[in-house]
Amino acid sequence: MKKRIGIIGAGILGLAVAYRVQERYPCAKVWVFEKEGGPGRHQSSHNSGVLHCGLYYQPGSLKARLAVEGIRSMIDFCRQHEIPHEVCGKVVVASDARERQFLENLARRGAANGLKGLKFLGTSELKNREPFVRASSSLLVPEEGIVDYLAVMDSLAGIIQYKGGHLQYNSPVRAVKSHHGSGTVVVETPQRETEVDLLVCCAGLHADRLYRACTSEMPPLKIVPFRGEYRMLRQEAERLVNHLVYPVPDPAYPFLGVHFTRLVHGGREVGPNAVLAFKREGYHGSDFSLSDTLDSVTYKGFLRFLVRNFRFTAGEFSSSFSDRAFLVKAQKMIPDITQDQLVSGTAGVRAQAVAPDGTLVMDFSIIRHDSQIHVLNAPSPGATASLAIAGHIVKEYVH
Ligand SMILES: Cc1cc2nc3c(=O)[nH]c(=O)nc-3n(C[C@H](O)[C@H](O)[C@H](O)COP(=O)(O)OP(=O)(O)OC[C@H]3O[C@@H](n4cnc5c(N)ncnc54)[C@H](O)[C@@H]3O)c2cc1C
């Protein structure tokens, strides 16, 4: 194939798509347009750095399939390119009888999704592994791990360029022109116009806006930004967490709850919460954008979500404003943690698609529109699954 493929967004997903295109079609010409000065400046570098393997997701969904395939491809890639990672396993902790039931459901889901080695831990097994965790029941997920996603993206970017692909940074795409006769698309950036045969949009927090700008149609979903704030454990308190410790998530939400993560380069992170953000790329609580806020509050789906999830939303805001409320979430699993052991950490903003009826879209969402492919929803575990999502896009849509 001698096609010209344009990709918008040099997050982990856009880079993975470019990498998979070149792998399958060595003669294809590839451009990646990125508005920032380098790769992965948004979600892909503001996440927990965890390799998720598909425990949570509805069996049969695209997410379940691509998460399981994705973690295996990502670990292979890391081994091949000597990227720091570790398959350290994760413990999911139920704190009461209700959560114990949810955890049993999760174990069944995980087994149905093909995860290997899932195991409920006895009291002494849990104590050996995570001595400070208090649990009514706990499930070991041995396939999960931690990774340096920035190193993954640096490696992908290097390979793409080595194979002749063009990574165009500082190149915000504002519009495209579609030529219906030839089926080609002209991508407009401030520097130049580039004609391609197929355009793949992986614009993360701007996915819905890009859909509208490129197709002149309203997107079927809207991105609502949810900021996730982290705290770090002080060095002397790092002994409280050995690996990955997660609560049982509320099945109504795609967020995993405040958890403990051992970072691949050292340190222990606590979080993130899931706070409605007033700016799509706003990493601080005080960040505000009038247009982003208006975009959310004038969307019926967002208002429906708010009405139905007021308690959840208020609870997450309280953990943003109050250190005490954040601590309570952390102490649920590790009661020995004290306020003075937590210091403020980084934050990320999730691009979460919300449907017009107010539901949070759980599955990955990829839509074809003529010569354009739009990834409209790629939340967690989008980084883990990026190579598998990219493989799926290339197989299904790039011919
Ligand atoms: C707090 C948090 C924790 C998470 N934890 C994990 C985890 O532990 N494990 C995991 O697997 N996943 C995790 N995720 C999810 C994961 O980070 C995302 O699924 C993944 O990074 C999505 O990648 P992306 O390339 O689609 O988006 P992004 O990384 O956001 O990239 C989109 C890119 O598009 C660019 N762009 C947008 N508009 C334009 C335009 N008009 N022109 C040019 N460029 C444009 C942006 O600048 C950006 O670089 C987490 C996410 C968050 C926010």
Give the nearest ligand 1 atom to 9 CA.
Answer: 34
pTM for the whole thing? 0.97
Span from the CA of 39 to the centroid of ligand 1 (angstroms): 10
Among protein residues, the one whose CA lies closest to atom 15 of ligand 1: 380
Which residue from 47, 202, 374 has its CB within 8 A of the most atoms of ligand 1, so it is best to mutate?
Answer: 47
Span from the CA of 205 to the centroid of ligand 1 (angstroms): 7
Mean pLDDT of the 145-167 span:
98
Q: What are the angstrom distances between the C-alpha of 299 and each of 165, 242, 285, 353?
A: 38, 43, 22, 12
**H or E element in which residue 4 lies:** strand 4-8
Other residues' Cβ atoms within 10 Å of the Cβ of residue 260? 27
Residue 2 has pLDDT above 60, yes or no: no
User: What's the pLDDT band for 262 if we cut at 50, 70, 90?
Assistant: very high
CA 327 to CA 231: how far, in whole Å?
Answer: 10
User: What's the pLDDT band for 252 if we cut at 50, 70, 90?
Assistant: confident
Span from the CA of 380 to the centroid of ligand 1 (angstroms): 9
Decide whether any atom of ligand 1 lies within 6 Å of the 18 Cβ: no
Mean pLDDT of the 199-214 span:
97
Decide whether any atom of ligand 1 lies within 6 Å of the 11 Cβ: yes
Q: Are 280 and 289 in contact (CB under 8 A)?
A: yes
Span from the CA of 200 to the centroid of ligand 1 (angstroms): 15
Span from the CA of 47 to the centroid of ligand 1 (angstroms): 9
Decide whether any atom of ligand 1 lies within 6 Å of the 219 Cβ: no
**What CATH fold (topology level) applies to the domain 4-45+150-221+362-397?**
FAD/NAD(P)-binding domain (3.50.50)
For 344-385, the pLDDT digits (tens) are 999 999 999 999 999 999 999 999 999 999 999 999 999 999
What is the pLDDT at residue 142?
97
Percent of the chain with pLDDT over 70: 99
Percent of the chain with pLDDT over 90: 95
Residue 161 has pLDDT above 70, yes or no: yes
For 39-80, the pLDDT digits (tens) are 999 999 999 999 999 999 999 999 999 999 999 999 999 999
What is the pLDDT at residue 352?
97
Decide whether any atom of ligand 1 lies within 6 Å of the 103 Cβ: no
For 263-294, the pLDDT digits (tens) are 999 999 999 999 999 999 999 999 999 999 99
For 219-240, the pLDDT digits (tens) are 999 999 999 999 999 999 999 9
Amino acid, res. 203: A
Give the nearest ligand 1 atom to 44 CA.
Answer: 21
Amino acid, res. 222: K
180, with CB counted inside 10 A (0-12, 13-18, 19+), is exposed
344 three-state secondary structure: strand
Among protein residues, the one whose CA lies closest to atom 4 of ligand 1: 47
User: What's the pLDDT band for 300 if we cut at 50, 70, 90?
Assistant: very high
Among protein residues, the one whose CA lies closest to atom 2 of ligand 1: 47
User: Domain segments of the chain: what residues?
Assistant: 4-45+150-221+362-397, 222-231+268-360
Measured distance between the N- and C-terminal CA atoms of the chain, rounded to whole angstroms: 8
Decide whether any atom of ligand 1 lies within 6 Å of the 160 Cβ: no
Report, in angstroms and rounded to the nearest whole number, the Rg of the chain calculated over CA atoms: 21
Decide whether any atom of ligand 1 lies within 6 Å of the 188 Cβ: no
Amino acid, res. 294: L
What is the pLDDT at residue 1?
60
Span from the CA of 96 to the centroid of ligand 1 (angstroms): 34
What is the pLDDT at residue 96?
95
Decide whether any atom of ligand 1 lies within 6 Å of the 173 Cβ: yes
Give the nearest ligand 1 atom to 379 CA.
Answer: 19
Q: Which residues of 142-159 are buried (b: 16+ CB within 10 A; e: fewer)?
A: bbbbbbbbbbbbbbbbeb
